[in-house]
Structure 1
Amino acid sequence: MTKLERPDAPLIAALEKARIHPLWDRYQRITPMAPKAVDEPMHWRWGDIAPFTARAAKEVGIEDVERRALILANPAFGGATVTTQNLIGAFTVLEPGDRAVPHRHTAAAIRFATRAEGAVTIVNGRRCEMHEGDLVLTPPMCWHGHINEGKRRTVWFDAANMPAICNLDVSFFEPGKRQDERFWEVGTEGSGEYRFAWQDAVRGLAPAPDGSLTYRYTKDGRSVMPTLDLFLKRVGKTRQARSTCSAVCLVVSGEGRSKVGERAFEWSQHDVFTIPHWTWASHEGNGDLFMVTDRAIYERLELLREEIR
């Protein structure tokens, strides 16, 4: 029976004209049986990204932009700057001597050092050096800026929850001043609040239910920030798992293969791929994956559901 053939069709038409919707003819649309991600899993190869980092370094002056960053965009979001639901992943490029102007915002963000030796991130007056594999947090509304004090170009992986913040329409942004030399004249005391050394994460790896060795970056036993939950996963062969949260995965080292939904990815160092929410994923190989997730949001809202098979 079509909508026009229904005995209540005139009533539905009158309701819609009055900007009122009847529940009875659209109940399943309002309350789906299960989550269904709008985005397919995506895979970006470092070999394809690297030439663009070189071009950006040469063609975009750091003094002309807020950040020289390349954001990984999933076409499923209709041209929006989104990597997967609630999250973006990116690579930031600095030439020797470059300074990325200080600023702060309500989005939570992280930096993971890939090719970043010589780079430093200043967070709330703490100097956080970025050695290979180190993680640096920039929590909401913390002043932060970046500098390359080395002799070579630096590149690191960024992730943030700008899409979640913008969807809630609670984004605030405050620019800093390029000429403020005092911002950069700080020491490392207290940097442990924002910097997690690679060696500490590796030492913390422990067996996880999916068959991997996993380390969860935590503060006081909870996620490192109220809206971002971060993991290091050393994979051999894992079981399939899915969750109501989404993930952006950086290949820290090694090579392997991931099956995400109906897609399979052959990955190597510094590739990035996504795991959309409520999508089965498994991994096989010999490598380390750094995973940025929005799990903390769902955990705090008591909407987290996780399954393994």
Structure 2
Amino acid sequence: MTTPPVSQNPATVSPVRLQALPGEGRPQVTPALEELYRGFEQELLVPLWTEIGDLMPAHPRSRAVPHLWRWERLRELAARAGDLVPVGRGGERRAIALANPSLGGRPYATPTLWAAIQYLMPGEDAPEHRHTQHAFRFVVEGSGVWTVVGGDPVPMNRGDFLPQAGWNWHAHHNASSEPMAWIDGLDIPFQYATEAQFFEFGRDGISDAERITPERSRSERLWAHPGLRPLSAAPAAPGSPLLSYKWEYTNAALADQLLLEKEGFGGTVGPGHAAVRYSSPHDGSDVLPTVRAEFHRIARGAETVPVRETGSSVYQVFDGSGVVTVGDRSWTVARGDLFAVPSWEPFSARSEAGRTDSDEGALDLFRFSDAPVFEALGLNRTQKDA
């Protein structure tokens, strides 16, 4: 038996609710207009003139809000979870996601970005799986964990950035005697909204050959030589073929930019503001199809110009201290703190770092965003407020 359409099924209640309101540019409220609106509701129709202010605002109005998560508290709760929550199959990772307070309790830092703290106890393995969601790991402190991507053990140390494109098998193992925490970033909300996600379990354990702990992964030995592209390289696959971007190279690049500025040769994006983008050595593109990753260093006393961008970002303070302002909210931040910057909210930062709270006497910020998506769709826009 065929289910009749909504208009012929009195038991079906339409989710469309329209209200005739008086106002400039609106149709006159009459019984005929009310009757018309009831017909729209019955046939699941919504006229643009009742929705245009919400559907087509003058500028982006994000559902997310600026928010700050304190690292000390996150790490404390992750450590407690390490004692209580298993890391094996079932929960599939001891990962604790940041939930933006205005997104209804969903585990999303912004409408398109997932950020989580992952915690692995000494000797533990996180079992193998793969998913279409593009991911990375960024280490703000600690060492001793290896992520194994496609059978390639990749060391994780403070300051290292480790991208991993979707649908690659991966597992983690902690070879040290200490627990370790890091942040994961993924495009889970974006793939969830577009109904494009896939997930698959892999092996329950990794092999002895994968449990080795090399200083450099095979991907680094092939791809981590500046300006040199191996002639053996296969056609580019989604995401960077380099699985680890070492802190020593990131740090040197930022330091050189500030030295060049001091010598009068430029090289920074603003006074006292050095910045780099992690890119694929294959072709210079973003490391992941849907995620951009950057590192910013702001010298002590320097302040960035407020900037608005379409799309959202999540920042983590890698080192130093300072004041960050997102929209109408300002926070004093220190090592490890994370904060969300929603679409079109102005962001600026002032460095108050010194030798007592920073290795380099600067405010160091790791940033990831959904910029590649907006650029691919022609929706990217940037505006400086000063």
TM-score (norm 1): 0.94
Unaligned runs of at least 5 residues, structure 1: none
Quote the residue 1:161 is aligned against.
187
Quote the residue 1:293 is aligned against.
369
1:47-126 alignment to 2 at 5 Å? 47-63=72-88, 65-126=91-152
Residue 194 (structure 1) shift: 1.2
Of 313, 317, 338, the match for 1:272: 338
1:298/1:183 CA distance change after superposition, 3 Å: farther
Larger mean CA deviation between 2-11 and 234-243 belongs to 2-11
Quote the residue 1:221 is aligned against.
284
2:305 is the alignment partner of 1:239 = yes
Amino acid at match of 1:134: D
Residue 209 (structure 1) shift: 4.8
Of 15, 21, 31, the match for 1:2: 21
Larger mean CA deviation between 251-260 and 218-227 belongs to 218-227
Q: Residue deviations 1:48-97, cap 9 Å, x none?
A: 11211210111112235310111111121111111112111111111111
Does the CA-based 8 Å contact 1:230-1:290 persist in structure 2?
Answer: yes
**How many residues matched?**
309
Please give the alpha-carbon distance, in whole angstroms, between the structure 1 residues aligned to 2:317 and 2:331. 12
Unaligned runs of at least 5 residues, structure 2: 1-19, 224-241, 258-267, 354-362
1:183/1:227 CA distance change after superposition, 3 Å: farther
2:194 is the alignment partner of 1:171 = no
Structure number with greater Rg is 2
Higher strand share: 1
Amino acid at match of 1:194: L
1:97/1:29 CA distance change after superposition, 3 Å: same
Larger mean CA deviation between 196-205 and 33-42 belongs to 196-205
Identity %: 30
Q: Residue deviations 1:261-289, cap 9 Å, x none?
A: 01001100001111111100100013100
1:177/1:216 CA distance change after superposition, 3 Å: same
Q: Residue deviations 1:240-277, cap 9 Å, x none?
A: 00100111101100111101001001100001111111
Please give the alpha-carbon distance, in whole angstroms, between the structure 1 residues aligned to 2:270 and 2:173. 40
Residue 40 (structure 1) shift: 1.4
2:47 is the alignment partner of 1:22 = yes
Amino acid at match of 2:122: P
Secondary structure of 1:196 counterpart = coil
Does the CA-based 8 Å contact 2:109-2:340 persist in structure 1?
Answer: yes
Amino acid at match of 1:47: E
Larger mean CA deviation between 204-213 and 124-133 belongs to 204-213
1:201-212 alignment to 2 at 5 Å? 201-205=250-254, 206=257, 207-209=268-270, 212=273
Larger mean CA deviation between 12-21 and 273-282 belongs to 12-21
1:210/1:160 CA distance change after superposition, 3 Å: farther
Residue 118 (structure 1) shift: 0.6
Residue 226 (structure 1) shift: 1.0
1:185/1:80 CA distance change after superposition, 3 Å: same
Amino acid at match of 1:166: Y
Does the CA-based 8 Å contact 1:210-1:241 persist in structure 2?
Answer: no
- Higher RCO (C-alpha under 8 Å, 6+ residues apart): 1
Does the CA-based 8 Å contact 1:211-1:239 persist in structure 2?
Answer: no
Runs of 4+ in 1 over 4 A off after TM superposition: none
Residue 183 (structure 1) shift: 7.4
1:12/1:48 CA distance change after superposition, 3 Å: same
Quote the residue 2:293 is aligned against.
230
